[in-house]
Each structure stands twice: as C-alpha cells, then as structure tokens.
A and B are shown apart, each in its own frame.
Chain A
Amino acid sequence: MSKQSVKRFLALYFFIFFGAIFLRVDYFPFSWVPMYGYHLAGESVTVGIGDKSERERGFPAQRANGERLYISADDLNVPNANYRRLYHQRAFNNGPPQDDRERAALIAFNRWWYETLVGPDPRLDQRYHMQLLDSVNRTFGYGSDDPQRIVRLEAPLLFATFDRDSVASGDLSKPFVERRTAIITEQGGILRKGDKMIPMKTSREREVIE
C-alpha cells in the first residue's frame, strides 16, 4: 500500500469504528463503549442476595405430568456464571444490561434508524422469563404436547433494598430484606413477594440493580 492508500484505509477504518460510536451501535464487533454507563438513580437500591447452595440445587420445577424436580446448571449444561444470570435475572424478567440502555436518551436520528432497522425498544416487550422456560424445554427436547415438558419453573431469591439515605451515608447494615420467587408457567410469569402474587410486568424500567 502507498501512503495515499494507507490514508484512505485509515479514513475508512475510523469512519466505520468511530461512526458506530456516534450512531450508538452496540453490536459486536462495534460498540460505543457504554458498559457500566447507564445509571438511573432511584429512591432506593435493590439487589439480589445470592445463595450458592440454593442456586446449585437448581430451579424448582414441575412437569406437565405433575412430577416435581430441580433443574440445575449441570442438567442444562450451562456455565455457572451464565446460570447465575438466568436464575437471578432472566427468571425475574430482567434483561441483559444492553437492552436497558440501548434506547435510553437517543437523539432523534439514532432513534429513527434503530426503530427502522432493528425494531421496537426491547424494554417495551420483555419476555425474558418465557424465553428461559422455552430454552429449558428445547434443551431437553420436550415439545409443546409432551407430558414430560416443564410447565412451571421457580427461582426463589432474597432481595435487599437499601434506601437512598443509607446508601448515601454508606450505612448498609439494615436493608429491607424480602424473599421473592419468580414463578414461570406457560401462561406467563408471576412474582411472589411475601404473600402477594404479582403478575410480571412486560414493559418497565429495571428495578433491581445488576
């Protein structure tokens, strides 16, 4: 390549890679590098408190024929880090962070091209919990009429809620701790909070920080 060709190549290279930044593209191998950039300060901070032994035991589940079982990371043959995300996040209908931030604070042009070329905002139709149930059944090869198929999947998990003043003062000693259970059935998802049963929202901002 001559120097002139190199200059043309570099112009194209940076046009593509840095153009993706201005267009807010975040699809590998291009990115506008948002990683941990999305922060929505609320009245409180809610996080999941993991329990490795509970997670290792697996999702409490039920087959169409009524049999109860646990479905673990080993059963699904999924790495532990991914299983944790399935258990702590997807089961509770929380998507990956890129879905939360993809359409946040877009300028008009970027909103136009996203909606034209990619589709609607993923926050408007969240069915991560149903995708999880579908994945489990497809992994085991269960069809929609199979009596062996999984019709109910649960993910019990403790959640800690820290009020904003405590967080601001660094006092994390007295969070409000609540056991929540995500219950996923073929009809949809339900969140059990204490003794309340709440249908999972399919369109919302994320409540739990990850």
Chain B
Amino acid sequence: MNSPAKTRRSWVDWFFFDWHPAEALGAVRFYFGLGLAVYLYFQFDQNLKIDAFGAHFAFTRPIWYFGLLGIDTNIPWISFAVMPLLLIACLFFALGKWTKPAIIAIIIGIFYMKGVRDSFSGDVHHREIPIFAILILFLFSKCDRMFGIDARKKGWAPIEDWEASWPLRAMQIYIALFYFWALMAKVRLSGLDWFTGGGRIQEVLISRALRDGFTPTGEVVNLSLGWDLAQNPQLIWFFGALVFLFELFFPLILFVRDWRLKLVALIGAAVFHLANYFLMNVQFFLYPFVFVTFFNMAEFHRWLMGKVRLRGRKVAEA
C-alpha cells in the first residue's frame, strides 16, 4: 500500500507535468509556427531591401559566429534564397510535416539572417533570443506527435498529458522571466536612475524622434507621438512605473490557470510592445505571437473551426 508521502506529487511534477492536456502541444506548435513565419519575415526583410546582385558589403562588425566562420562579407542573393526557405520551414513546422528537421532548418536560417542583419553595423538585436530558446524546447519535445500531417499519416499514438505539458511550461517560464530579467538588467546597470524623472525612456524618445530630423514646418519626420510624449516627463515617469510593475510581476502569470485572466495579462503585454513600437520604433511589435504558448490552442482551434463551419453552413443556406 502506498503511504501518503509516496503518493503526494512533488511541486516540480505539479508545476511542469499537470498543466496542459496532450492535445495542447501540437496545436500550440501549429499557431506558433504560423506566427513565426510572419514574425521572422518582418525581422529579416531589411536584408532584402538591397540589390540581390549588387555590391558585396564588407561587414563593419561581423557577429561573433560569423567571425569564427570567417564570414566577413554579405553576398546579398543568399538572403533572397534563405528567406523563402526559412518561411517554408516555418510552414512545415506549423503543419507537422518533417517537424524536427524543419526546426533545425529554422534555427540555421535565423542564425544566418540575423548574422547578416546585425553584422552590417554591429548592433546585435535581441528579438530572436526567446524564439531560439522556445524552438529548442519544441525540438526536444514530442510536438510532432499530434495535430500534424506526419502524426495523421503515420498513425502515431497520442502522447500523454505530461509529455505535452512540460515543454509548454518551460516556454512560459522563459517568456515570463524574459521581462523579469530585463528589469533586473535595468537595476543592475543603472539602478533606479533608469526611472527617475523621464529617465532612460525620455532619452530614447528624444533620440528616436529626431533621428530622421524635422519637416520644413518644424514637425518631426517620424514618431511624432513619441516626440510629444518626450515633453511630458510626469507622464513618462508614470509609464516607467508601469513598466517596472509589469516586468516585476509578470512571472505571476505562471501560476494562473484561468485563461481569461491570462488573456488580460497578455493583452497588457501586447499593448506594452505596441506602445514601444509606435513611440520608439522598438521592433518587438509582433512578438506577442509567442503568447499562444500560454493557452490550450486545441480548444481555441475547435472554437474557431466551429465558427468557420457555422459560417459556411449559413452561407450555403443563404
């Protein structure tokens, strides 16, 4: 007979293994993959805004792995070839066809396109970092076993709930703590000076608004909303305080099971990213697609398909 001590599950089991049903992982993979294709296109499309057969720019500051590999020049047509392959790999990943090879292809594609984009002038952006961490979890999970072409064709047996739950929970931890670490970085580097008065936010608002200069009538060419906000330090301080609270408490979402509460929190996060884009041109605006990892997207998919079928029936009857 099992003693209560033996039957009681550890908090690790509770936290990682008991959170999502088996069907959730494949559905998240599907919606994440679709979002990833759009996200990566907009991250790397600037590599395509040059002449495919024009000059081979000698990188000013190659990213570290280009340095190791001896890649010191941009061969533009390669980006034009890699982009469609990257997007096709995202679709294969989403549809569950050759899922694991597709993940590896996506990772290689990200490394290449990011390397090119960031080596021109040496500014290394952070927008692909959470994507890489999430893709690693998909790679080591059984995300291909359900809700995909291979799973249906090969008749794979369904996975167990815990096998779907742990990768999703690990993704959620990474995503939630990404905000928390950003706050810790601010405090480690700048202390509360970051938030004092207009602080760092005001400086970024000013510099971003002025980087394309003024029109002949004296208006800033771009980001006029940011320029207006830059002249309201009290309002900036308020937004800075909101950022502080948001980044400090966002990890609490890891303990919320109610999807409505999670939706409210994640809409708040999406507003944060959109505001950063419209005010400061911070290019994380499509990043909220990663929030699909917080939900049972299989339920959402059933709801969506129900709506589509109902609409189809209504159209047929009319």
**A binding-site residues for B, Cβ under 8 Å:** 1, 3, 6-7, 9-10, 13-14, 17-18, 21, 26-41, 45, 47-52, 74-86, 88-90, 95-98, 101, 104-105, 128, 131-132, 134-135, 138-140, 158, 160, 162, 167-172, 209-210
- Cβ of A52 to closest chain B Cβ, rounded Å: 6
Contact yes or no, A78 B203, CB < 8 A: no
Other than A45-B206, A77-B51, A85-B120, give 9 A-B pairs with Cβ distance below 8 A.
A10-B16, A21-B184, A34-B185, A74-B54, A97-B123, A134-B58, A135-B58, A168-B198, A170-B233
**B binding-site residues for A, Cβ under 8 Å:** 12-13, 16-17, 46-47, 49-51, 54-61, 63-65, 73-74, 76, 111, 114, 117-118, 120-124, 126, 128-129, 132-133, 136-137, 140, 162, 166, 170, 173-174, 177-178, 181-182, 184-186, 188-190, 193-194, 196-200, 202-204, 206-207, 210-214, 221, 227, 230-233, 282
Q: Which residue of A lies closest to B122 (CB)?
A: A96
Q: Which residue of A lies closest to B52 (CB)?
A: A77
Contact yes or no, B50 A77, CB < 8 A: yes
Contact yes or no, B230 A170, CB < 8 A: yes
A-B residue pairs, 3 tightest by C-beta: A138-B58, A82-B120, A39-B200
Whether A49 contacts B57 in the complex (CB less than 8 A), given A13-B170, A82-B121, A172-B231, comes out as no
Alpha-carbon gap, A139 to B75, bound state (A): 11
A-B contact pairs, 26 of them (CB 8 A): A6-B16, A7-B12, A9-B140, A10-B16, A13-B136, A17-B133, A17-B174, A31-B129, A33-B126, A35-B126, A36-B186, A36-B204, A47-B206, A48-B210, A50-B211, A52-B212, A77-B50, A78-B57, A79-B120, A85-B123, A96-B124, A97-B123, A105-B189, A128-B122, A134-B58, A171-B231
Contact yes or no, A89 B121, CB < 8 A: yes
Whether A105 contacts B63 in the complex (CB less than 8 A), given A90-B121, A170-B231, comes out as no
In the complex, chain B residues whose CB is within 8 Å of the CB of A35: 126, 182, 185
Contact yes or no, A90 B207, CB < 8 A: no
Q: Which residue of B lies closest to A101 (CB)?
A: B189
In the complex, chain B residues whose CB is within 8 Å of the CB of A80: 46, 49
In the complex, chain A residues whose CB is within 8 Å of the CB of B230: 170, 172
In the complex, chain A residues whose CB is within 8 Å of the CB of B58: 134-135, 138-139
- Cβ of B59 to closest chain A Cβ, rounded Å: 7
